[in-house]
Structure 1
Amino acid sequence: MRQFGLAAAMAAVISVGVTNAHATTTLYVGAYGGSFEQMLRKDVIPPFEKSNGDVKVVTVPGDSTTTLAKLEAQKGKAGIDVAFLDDGPMYQAIQLGLCGKLADAPVYKDLYDIARFKGDRAVAVGLIATGIAYNTHLFKQKGWAPPTSWKDLADPKYKGLLVMPSIINTYGLHALLMEARLNGGSETDIDPGFAVMKKSIAPNVLSFDPSPGKIAQMFGDDEIALAVWGNGRVQALRDQGLPVKFVYPKEGAVALGMGVCVVASSAHNTLAQKFVQYILSPHVQAILAQSQGVGPSNRNTKLPPAVAAEVPSPDEISKLVRVNWDVVNPHRNAWTQRWNREIEQ
């Protein structure tokens, strides 16, 4: 009996060893849904899995707010290993201790400075510009010149023809910050922004709904002339054949970094670090640019002329206005409550 028990135990150990040797490591990636997730699953993840052996990458779709909530819920435990978040929520994640430090790698030396996050706990994998989208068909019909400035949002001729996303959306928050800056305020003095929003811009607003599908429909039906939006979203509409163009306002478009971090509690830190570095490679950066309309973070990325014409150029990237999220994030809840009382009333 004793010999049989020992033999059985050894067989069990050998069996476990064989099983573990061929076990698949699963990397969970919290990512934007929709076309972004589809791009990852079709064009980005398969080559990574193939080059890393027994690895399975599983996407966990959600917007930035949803993914941040999941990271908070799993804090200190295994779960999501890599997370994509817009830069504002990403700074919140960093402040909450949810992002681990990025391991040093050669690819980080190839990034634009604007793509780096403080403390090297996250990095922007793509750069989006928040500016003004305008309806080329409606502007031609009315004989209007294209918009050139953030101040154009207050022009009375656009009454009932503007989409201004609520400030729970990053595009809307960017617009509020720019209006504050242009009227004597700043991130630390937001009152001028609220004043011009309430007096001059809100009367022009048809909708505060930031839903891409809704905005696409309104542009297609000539219900709106202008929207505060990102260049990537505008490119998606142009790809659908809608009459819309993106404008970089003369005072500056605002930088929206599509951030990524290795989650501090990841059970697969080395693999997660490798995935982030892979996303920053020129090859994947080109896929991101073509699919999502984002400017590459890696300055060595080569884009076909047709794609390069639709994303922020190196010169435009250098001129993007940066937000001080360390100042803004602590005020977001209070500002949102004020926005709901004063602007979307």
Structure 2
Amino acid sequence: MSTRRTVSLLASAAIFTLSAAATAAAQEKVLSVAAYGGSFEQLMREQVFPAFEKEHNVRIEYTAGNSTDTLARLVATKSGPQIDVAIMDDGPMYQAIALGLCQDLTSAPVYGDLYDTAKVSGNKATGLGVVATGLMYNTDYFKQQGWDAPTSWADLKDPKYKGKLVVPPLSNTYGLHALIMEAGLAGGSEQDIDPGFKAFTDEIGPNVLAYEPSPGQMTALFQNGQAVLSVWGSARINSLKTTGFPVQMVYPKEGAVALGILGCPVAGRSQPEAQAFLQYLLSPEVQQKLAIGYGYGPVNKNAKLTDEQAADIPYGPDRVGKLRKVDWDYVNQHREEWNTRWTREVER
């Protein structure tokens, strides 16, 4: 074969290869998802994404960050959205909806299988999982002291916990939940929050060792024995308990509070896979993975867990169906004002 002929064939082969690669690249669809980092991201990448990517011939690009990071990113790119699906805590998600950053969900049978806790007015987001905010206590310490387990939000006021109680600050959703529930004990609510501030200022504050927002530091305070009682979420408590540390979740008799994990299709994007992805996350199989792997309470009534798997998370109508929901439309209008007041009156 002549050198010229060989060069020609090689050139043709190279062109064909490049053309095939370009065609494959053009056919590859990309779905951009923004959600939490850390172990949640690891779970999604290892157990959730692969099956969806294969079924829908799509590659998921993941942007990790906490809820406020994701909300800020959506706001900054509103004129040219770059994210298809956003997953956030319920408070920031309601802000996103109010700012017009989410578009309508398309109807699908799976939405009929959800608890009311997962349903968002306006149809622009859906609950994907739920965490219960309640109380966490050191079971060994309580046993040594001969104390009964806490049963009520009112227990935060008990003087025997002086210097042993940790509560997240108001900037943290768990702290906000505690404020609302303390207001409720005195006949208040989100719309009448003064009794909650009074309770923290006069009765709970003297017991508080720290208003701690960091999960790592919260864990450390329990592990080194400085704290024995706290306000925290079921997923965090479950994570600490699985290490073998002696803690237990308490659902107070007045009710635990729902911290919803919500997802929305981002406004200004037209990927049909975004809607399919949200529906996929609500399937019983994925709901089970999120529950077992991360401690999120399933919002699909058809997700099944064993008694052992469900021990410390919101599961079933007796827990999920009875969680207290926050009026985020009202709270988000006043939260900045409350944060300022909290700093001035409570953490002074």
TM-score above 0.5, yes or no? yes
Q: 1:276 to 1:242 in 2, by over 3 A?
A: same
> Residue 249 of structure 2 contacts residue 312 of structure 2 at CA under 8 Å; is this kept in 1?
no
Q: What pairs with 1:200-279 in structure 2 (closer than 5 Å)?
A: 200-268=203-271, 270-279=272-281
User: What amino acid is the match of 1:307?
Assistant: Q
Deviation at 1:19, TM superposition (A): 2.3
Mapped to 1, the partners of 2:253 and 2:68 lie a distance apart of 30
Q: Deviations over 1:205-256 (max 9, x none)?
A: 1111121111111111111111100111100001111111000000010111
Deviation at 1:21, TM superposition (A): 7.0
Q: Secondary structure at the match of 2:313?
A: coil
What corresponds to 1:105 in structure 2? 108
Q: Secondary structure at the match of 1:56?
A: strand
What corresponds to 1:29 in structure 2? 33
RMSD: 1.8
Mapped to 2, the partners of 1:18 and 1:80 lie a distance apart of 24
Deviation at 1:114, TM superposition (A): 1.3
Mapped to 2, the partners of 1:309 and 1:166 lie a distance apart of 27
Deviation at 1:20, TM superposition (A): 6.5
What corresponds to 1:89 in structure 2? 92
Mapped to 2, the partners of 1:65 and 1:51 lie a distance apart of 31
TM-score normalised according to structure 1 size: 0.93
Q: Of 273, 293, 296, which aligns to 1:294?
A: 296
Q: What pairs with 1:83-162 in structure 2 (closer than 5 Å)?
A: 83-162=86-165
Q: Secondary structure at the match of 1:172?
A: helix
What corresponds to 1:281 in structure 2? 283
Deviation at 1:184, TM superposition (A): 2.1
Q: Deviations over 1:122-173 (max 9, x none)?
A: 1111111100001112111111110000000011110111111011110000
Mapped to 1, the partners of 2:25 and 2:106 lie a distance apart of 26
Counting aligned pairs with the same residue, the percent is 54
Q: What pairs with 1:188-203 in structure 2 (closer than 5 Å)?
A: 188-203=191-206
User: What amino acid is the match of 2:236?
Assistant: R
User: What amino acid is the match of 2:82?
Assistant: G
Mapped to 2, the partners of 1:18 and 1:286 lie a distance apart of 39
Deviates more, 1:311-320 or 1:89-98: 311-320
Q: Of 174, 178, 189, which aligns to 1:175?
A: 178
Mapped to 2, the partners of 1:38 and 1:18 lie a distance apart of 30
Deviation at 1:27, TM superposition (A): 1.2
Q: Secondary structure at the match of 2:87?
A: strand
Deviation at 1:30, TM superposition (A): 0.8
User: What amino acid is the match of 2:49?
Assistant: I
User: What amino acid is the match of 1:293?
Assistant: G
Deviation at 1:24, TM superposition (A): 2.0
Deviation at 1:23, TM superposition (A): 3.3
Deviation at 1:317, TM superposition (A): 1.2
What corresponds to 1:7 in structure 2? none
Mapped to 2, the partners of 1:16 and 1:80 lie a distance apart of 28
Q: 1:254 to 1:80 in 2, by over 3 A?
A: same
Mapped to 1, the partners of 2:22 and 2:46 lie a distance apart of 31
What corresponds to 2:62 in structure 1? 59
What corresponds to 1:4 in structure 2? none
Q: 1:30 to 1:18 in 2, by over 3 A?
A: closer
What corresponds to 2:3 in structure 1? none
Q: 1:50 to 1:20 in 2, by over 3 A?
A: closer
TM-score normalised according to structure 2 size: 0.92
Q: Of 311, 314, 322, which aligns to 1:312?
A: 314
> Residue 74 of structure 2 contacts residue 81 of structure 2 at CA under 8 Å; is this kept in 1?
no
What corresponds to 1:49 in structure 2? 53
Mapped to 2, the partners of 1:35 and 1:15 lie a distance apart of 39
Deviation at 1:309, TM superposition (A): 2.0
Deviation at 1:120, TM superposition (A): 1.0
Q: Deviations over 1:242-294 (max 9, x none)?
A: 111000000010111111111112242x0111110100000000000001212
Mapped to 1, the partners of 2:38 and 2:141 lie a distance apart of 29
Mapped to 1, the partners of 2:289 and 2:319 lie a distance apart of 20
> Residue 219 of structure 1 contacts residue 243 of structure 1 at CA under 8 Å; is this kept in 2?
no
Mapped to 2, the partners of 1:324 and 1:16 lie a distance apart of 54
> Residue 220 of structure 1 contacts residue 243 of structure 1 at CA under 8 Å; is this kept in 2?
no
Q: Secondary structure at the match of 1:323?
A: coil
Deviation at 1:195, TM superposition (A): 0.5
